[in-house]
Amino acid sequence: HPPSFQMGESSGLRPANCRAKGGAPGFKVAILGAAGGIGQPLALLMKINPLVSVLHLYDVVNTPGVTADISHMDTGAVVRGFLGPQQLENALAGMDLVIIPAGVPRKPGMTRDDLFNINAGIVRTLCEGIAKSCPNAIVNLISNPVNSTVPIAAEVFKKAGTYDPKRLLGVTMLDVVRANTFVAEVLGLDPREVDVPVVGGHSGVTILPLLSQVKPPCSFTPKEIDYLTDRIQNGGTEVVEAKAGTGSATLSMAYAAVKFADACLRGLRGDSGIVECSFVASQVTELPFFASKVRLGRTGAEEIYPLGPLNEYERAGLEKAKKELATSIQKGVSFIRK
């Protein structure tokens, strides 16, 4: 295998035993798709995360430049770059957490499911690499369509004999981030004070904000509920249209991905009471996967919380969400089983 290019580790000018011990204690994190629209700001934000000691940046293009650039930041994490499939194994070896934003984004007029044909194969290949090189890592899967790519990953891991449902987490954090922002706008609050559970999945009607469970407790008019539900469900499309063919959400996504990854790392560290929404293997509904609040701990998603009391509007939304989710999940499963 060609060697990876390593940066931020040591200059090599002094013998190892003469150097002060560099590098922060912490976790080893790999980003797959690190040179992309999400990958680059995500790499930047993970480089400043004090819980990260080693940051591996993998992509099929442009990682030398991104790695050289990020590695000059004077933060603790050591950065190493990996380019192309021959370096995937080295990129993944020993990782505690793998974040996957690899794959094509939407253009106006497309649904997330329109990305399936390209992204399903990318996710399969990357997850085969994970099964081989770091089967115990926590996986944060961002690539769309999340409602299908998470079942694909699960099937790949099952086939490899490494599947642990607690360690496979579909990232739906951006839906929560958007919901917090839009609800705060309506209520005239600071978004940092607002917590909106968003359950179901990550596409259109499968994105189900539970506005009856907003914290701090509040009530909405029927008009506000329609406005908020529609805006939260179509937040991704709002960005895709504004970007007019140049891609989908990248900056807010990188922020959301880091918020979620940081929660996973705090869970791994043993912090208590870490709860976030995620699309995971679940028994909360009759579907095999569903997004809801999960408690993150040393072994991943250690507890999956039930949905709590839903009002009539949310119960109707749940039925619609389940119908679409069932099809998307099945599509992912059959992609690997066929």
> What does the binding site for ligand NAD look like in residue numbers (CB under 6 A)?
32-33, 35-39, 59-61, 101-106, 115, 119, 122, 125-126, 142-144, 146, 171, 174, 202, 247-250, 253
> How far lies 95's CA from each of 55, 152, 188, 300, in Å?
9, 21, 42, 14
For ligand LMR, the closer CB: 125 or 237: 237
- String of contacts with ligand LMR for each residue 200-239, x by CB under 6 A: --x---------------------------------xx-x
For ligand NAD, the closer CB: 70 or 174: 174
Per-state percent for the chain, helix, strand, coil, to nearest 5: 45, 20, 35
In terms of DSSP H, where are the helices of 54-202?
Answer: 63-71, 88-92, 116-133, 146-160, 173-187
Q: Which of 106, 124, 166, 231 binds ligand LMR (CB under 6 A)?
A: 106
For ligand NAD, the closer CB: 146 or 212: 146
Residue 39 counted as an annotated binding residue: yes
For ligand NAD, the closer CB: 113 or 314: 113
**Tokens in use for 277?**
């929404």
Q: Is 72 tagged catalytic?
A: no
Q: Which residue, 118, 120, 107, is CA-closest to 155?
A: 120
137 contributes a contact to ligand LMR by CB under 6 A: no
293 contributes a contact to ligand LMR by CB under 6 A: no
Neighbours of 330 (CB within 10 A): 15
140 contributes a contact to ligand LMR by CB under 6 A: no
Residue 77 counted as an annotated binding residue: no
Burial class of 97 by CB neighbour count within 10 A (0 to 12, 13 to 18, 19+) = buried
* DSSP assigned state of 38: T
Residue 133 counted as an annotated binding residue: no
CA angle 68, 250, 201 (to 5 degrees): 130
256 contributes a contact to ligand LMR by CB under 6 A: no
Q: Known catalytic residues? A: 202
